[in-house]
Amino acid sequence: MKFVTLLLCTTLGLGQLFSQNEQTFTLKQAQEYALKNNYNRVNAEKDVLIAKKKVMETTGIGLPHVSAEAQFQNFLELPVSLIPANVFDPRAPKDQYAELKFGTDYNTTARLNASQLLFDGSYIVGLQASRTYKSFAEKNLEKTEVTVREEIAQAYYLCLVAEENKGILQKIATSTEKLLEETKKTFKEGFVEEQHVDQLQLTHKNILNSLAEANRQKEIALNFLKFQMGLELDTKILLSDNIEMLLGEVSAEDVLSKEYKVDNNVDFQLIKVNESLMKLNLRKEKYAFAPSIAAFFTHQQQNMGDKIELTNGDKWYPSTLWGISIKLPIISGGMRLAKMGQARLEYEKAKANSIQVEQGLKLKVQKAKSDYTTSYSVYLNQKEGLGIAEKINNNSTRKYTEGMISSMEMTQSQTQYLETQAKYIKSLLDLFNSSSELKKAIGTK
């Protein structure tokens, strides 16, 4: 009894372990997981954090700066100064100099410096530019998230379509195998020629090869989805959405009714932020002609002597000063004018790029709508064609078993069914992908 109980506990424990290792995802759950773990998205989020630190760094330029400095000097040989000798002895020749040593062997200085930027046009523009750059990083993160959602959707669709392809091929393989076994029995009884058996065997082998390829494609599609999600490739996952559920979300009426506004498109938002950066760069170059003003304060204590006695009654000599410095550029050889001219041209290019991107996005939406309408129409036709091909194949199978048609005609019917099935699978994948592209172009999630 103890052994049975232990066996049950072990079995249940292993079952829970396997169920914990296997994760189930809907399409939306897969997208949400990827938005937290996709490698590109994680790096884009770090770029936003870096941009925020850059704003803090730039802001710090205009805040008070305080520094402390200490210096100790030991003169092994005091420097010699030459002074005209007639200063001390009027009778000394004019070209004669007296050698004098000034100073002490040990000098110690402690200094406190403080400065504050009062006005600098380049700093003001630089601060605005750093904040705009942060907006650029945030928009780039948003673009990455849109791309990740699209990539996950396409990978998810690919997995479902691969599964659908495998299911259809499995159904055909099972039917062909059953027909082959019946034909072998009929051949043994002498009612059909061996050629019929060989023909069906060849057809069955080809279908099995296609089925094996479909299994490999499904495995590759699943691994690609896990990679895009940021999962380990050896993680076991199940997809809980099915094709019928997702087809309901990509109906023509629902997708084509989405309103398009260019301002909603993240690519357009990015190009406008870049235009703002170029405009700020032009302002920065203009401010290069303006003065910069700063205030400063310095206090120092100095100790001098021929012995090191910093705390034993030695005297420290203070010195304190403050002031304001003004820097005004006057002549730079035309360098500033050239840089401002370059900045103005870059800004004009950015404005032209904004117009180009806006028109290109409108064209992209029109093309995406056209591609989606075409793929939806092709999908409906291929779906209907698959049903017709399956009906023809079933009739051919019945006629073959009744001896009304040859194995060659039966093989032709199955080949037509397989070709129609391949076209249906392709139309299904094209429909999902065109729907995803249209949503991306319109700017919806």
- Contact criterion met (CB below 8 Å) for 137 and 48: yes
State the Cα–Cα distance between residues 248 and 217, nearest whole angstrom: 25
Return the structure tokens found at 184.
Answer: 């072998």
**Per this entry, what is the length of the chain?**
445
Average pLDDT, integer, range 418-444: 86
Q: What is the pLDDT of residue 324?
A: 94
Q: Could you report the per-residue pLDDT of 308-339, keeping only the tens digit for each?
A: 766 655 688 899 999 999 998 888 788 888 98
Checking if the pLDDT of 255 tops 70, the result is: no
Q: Using a pLDDT cut of 90, give the percent of the chain over it.
A: 38
86 HSE (CA, 13 A, CB side): 7
pLDDT confidence bin for 86, thresholds 50/70/90:
confident
Would you kindly state where each structural domain of the chain is located, as residue ranges? 23-62+120-291+334-442, 65-118+292-327
Does the pLDDT at position 210 exceed 60? yes
Residue range 8-16: average pLDDT?
Answer: 44
Strand 22-25 versus strand 65-74 pairing type: unpaired
Confidence of residue 19 (pLDDT cuts 50, 70, 90): very low
Q: How far apart are CA 64 and CA 45, in angstroms?
A: 31
Using the predicted structure, report yes or no on whether residue 2 has a pLDDT greater than 50: no
Give 43 or 445, the one with higher predicted confidence: 43
444 falls in which pLDDT band (50, 70, 90)? Answer: low
Give me the pLDDT at residue 253, please: 62
Strand 97-101 with 80-84, pairing: antiparallel
Distance CA 362, CA 382 (A): 30
pLDDT at 18 over 70: no
**CATH (residue range 23-62+120-291+334-442):** 1.20.1600.10
Provide the strand spans (E) within 279-403.
292-305, 316-327
Of 201 and 192, the structure prediction assigns the larger pLDDT to: 201
Which pLDDT belongs to residue 6? 42
Q: If we measure between CA atoms, which residue out of 218, 222, 241 comes closest to residue 233?
A: 222
DSSP output for 412-431:
HHHHHHHHHHHHHHHHHHHH
Instruction: Identify the helix (H) or strand (E) that includes residue 130.
Output: helix 121-188
The lowest-confidence range among 152-166, 273-287, 311-325 is 311-325
Is residue 7 over pLDDT 70? Answer: no
Mean pLDDT score of the chain = 85
DSSP state, 119?
Answer: E
Cα–Cα distances in Å, from 32 out to 28, 131, 150, 250? 6, 28, 12, 20
Q: Rounded to whole angstroms, how far apart are CA atoms 434 and 440?
A: 10
Q: Which two tokens stand for residue 310?
A: 């910093």
Would you say residue 344 has pLDDT above 90? yes
Query: What are the pLDDT digits (tens) for 355-373?
Result: 999 999 999 988 988 999 8
Q: pLDDT value at position 313?
A: 57
Rounded CA gap, 347 and 279, in Å? 6
**Burial 287-310, CB ≥16 within 10 A → b, else e:** bbeeebebeeeeebeebbeeeeee
Quick one: pLDDT at residue 11?
43
